[in-house]
Copies of this chain bind each other. A is one copy, B any other.
Amino acid sequence: MAETNTSIKSSRQLRYVYSFADKVKSFPGLARRATWKVGKEDPRRVVHALKVGMALTLVSLLYLMEPLFKGIGKNAMWAVMTVVVVMEFTVGATLSKGLNRGLGTLLAGSLAFLIEYVADAPGRIFRAVFIGVAVFMLGAMTTYVRFIPYIKKNYDYGVLIFLLTFNLITVSSYRIDNVWNIAKDRMSTIAIGCGLCLVMSILVFPNWSGEDLQNNTITKLEGLANSIQVCVMEYFYDSAKQATEDDSSEDPIYEGYKAVLDSKANDETLALQASWEPRCSRYCHRIPWHQYARVGAALRQFSYTVVALHGCLQSEIQTPKSIRAVYKDSCIRLGEEVSKVLRELANSIRNKRQFSPQTLSNNLNEALQDLDNALKSQPQLVLGSRNGRTPNTPVQKLEEDTASARTPLSSVKNDYFSPRGCKSKEHSREQAKKVLRPQLSKSAIISLEFSEALPFAAFTSLLLEMVAKLDRVMDEVEELGRMAHFREFKDDDDDEIVVTCEKPKMIIAQNGMPSYGAE
């Protein structure tokens, strides 16, 4: 018994060793791939790394070259440290950190006056107690101040550096006679470090946070436009869905909106950094970076509706295709119009040119009217087949066919309760777990009894909701155009605005519903 235990134990240990060895073996390849990917994703990173290396070498010369060393002394180290800490990827971030560091040091350094006065007081005990109390008070106060949202957002690093420098000077004053010298040295070396960082980041291949923010906004607008287009297309042409389902990691719909959903932190950081950058628009007005963050917020609100629309595709109770076919053209048209508006907004931001809300809303209105007409002309179809009404359309026939053909499906496709709203790696995990809960599949079958009109009505209603939310996005972009003094919209700009509305590649094989092409 004990022997078996030991052998089990040793075999387990062996397995650990093997798996560890495997990990070690695969590590170089993994590391190489990760390293390569980082540079390929954004080649500016390589340039930035070289810039940092260059800045560090330059600042080291302060210590290495005799004449420079004589002027500054061994506190040149502080300049080296400053470069390591302050040099950031974008100009805005470097400026914000550099100015924070400079201001914090300056403020703390100016307190050195006060401290030198006290340091002259007689009595070592008194001085030690004074220093202790001052360190405690300032430490507690600055730490508390850092919790205030406004300070945290703008000056967190500055307050930290203030505390650091204050402590350095105060505590040193106990043993060093001329504190003022330390303060001066620290201020000058930090100024040199910050200056070098600024020169390097502004003059040598600068990366602007503002540019990143603008490009992000454009990418998000276009991603959403693609999502909506593909989403509406997939709703009416199933084959496309099945085709993409194989490589679930690259669902184009999810790819389109996922960047928008959790963009809050990133947007706000970029806007904050950009607001430090010394750039201006035409006629030297300040660029309203915070308005970009607001556009981002409106887009996030908008994207929640896109997620819900995507959910319609994945729900297992579906309105029969034949019914959907009747409203297909108008729905696709509305989806296209929404996408077009988003693309036009993206172009407006890209070309720094205002857009014409009138034209866009007119088109939207026409599409809405179109859908309304379709719904009014065939109202009974929305109601599903359960009412027994027989309108004289050829569609009714088709519908009955599919209705009878659909019944066996309900027992097969019972994964209504497996929402795949986010196609993540957990997908396989969820698959495995589905066996554990037969209970909910039961309700899946129940839910198939629900009125077939519901899903299609929800789809249409979400499209309308989307148009409503689009309005806020348009408002924010319009406001942006006004604040940033974009070029005014002219009617003869029209040839510029040719919105290249690339249709996503769809495999329309067995459906044979080419009416989309005829539009």
Binding site for B on A (CB under 8 A): 34-35, 38-39, 45-46, 48-50, 52-57, 60-61, 63-64, 69, 74, 77, 80-81, 84-85, 128, 131-132, 135-141, 143-145, 147-150, 160, 163-164, 167-168, 171-172, 174-175, 261-262, 264-265, 294, 297, 300-301, 304-305, 307-308, 311-312, 315, 317, 357-358, 361-362, 364-365, 368-369, 371-372, 375-376, 379-380, 382-383, 386-387, 416-419, 421-422, 424, 426, 430, 433, 437, 439-440, 442-443, 446-447, 449-451, 453-455, 457-458, 460-462, 464-465, 467-469, 471-472, 475, 479
Residue from B137, B175, B451 in contact with A63 in the complex, judged by beta carbons closer than 8 Å: B175
Complex contact A81–B136 (CB within 8 A): no
Return the contact of A375 from the options B304, B311, B450, B461 (Cβ within 8 A): B450
Q: How far is the CA of A511 from the CA of B483 in the complex (A)?
A: 46
Query: Do the beta carbons of B52 and A143 come within 8 Å of each other?
Result: yes
In the bound complex, residues from chain B placing their C-beta under 8 Å from that of A60 are 131-132, 135, 167, 171
Find out whether the CB atom of B164 lies under 8 angstroms from the CB atom of A469. no
Expressed in whole angstroms, the minimum distance between the Cβ of A393 and any Cβ of chain B is: 16
* Cα–Cα distance between A148 and B41 once the two chains are bound (Å): 11
Question: Which residue of the partner chain, among B69, B379, B439, contacts A362 with CB atoms under 8 Å?
Answer: B439
**Binding site secondary structure of chain A:** helix
Q: State whether A52 and B139 are in contact (beta carbons under 8 Å apart), knowing that A144-B45, A449-B372 are contacts in the complex.
A: yes
**A264: which B residues are within 8 A, CB to CB?**
262, 265
Judging by beta carbons under 8 Å apart, are B311 and A305 in contact?
Answer: yes
Most buried by B among A49, A84, A426: A84
Residues of the B chain whose Cβ atoms lie less than 8 Å from the Cβ of A464: 315, 317, 447, 450, 454
Q: Are B135 and A56 in contact, with the CB atoms below 8 A?
A: yes
- Closest residue on chain B to residue A373 by CB atoms: B449
B85, B140, B262, B454: the one contacting A164 at CB < 8 Å is B85
Residue from B140, B446, B449 within 8 A of A365 (CB atoms): B446
A171's partner among B64, B174, B419, B450 (CB-CB below 8 A) is B64
Q: Which residues on the B side are within 8 Å of A465 (C-beta)?
A: 308, 311-312, 315, 419, 458
Q: Closest residue to A263 on the B side, CB-wise? A: B262
Chain B residues with CB below 8 A from A297, complex form: 422, 424
Separation of A507 and B328 alpha carbons in the complex (Å): 43
Bound form: Cα–Cα A481–B168 in Å: 49
Q: How far is the CB of A423 from chain B (nearest CB, A)?
A: 11
Q: Which chain B residue lies CB-closest to A127?
A: B64
B136 and A57 within 8 A (CB):
yes
Judge whether B421 and A301 touch: CB under 8 Å. Answer: yes
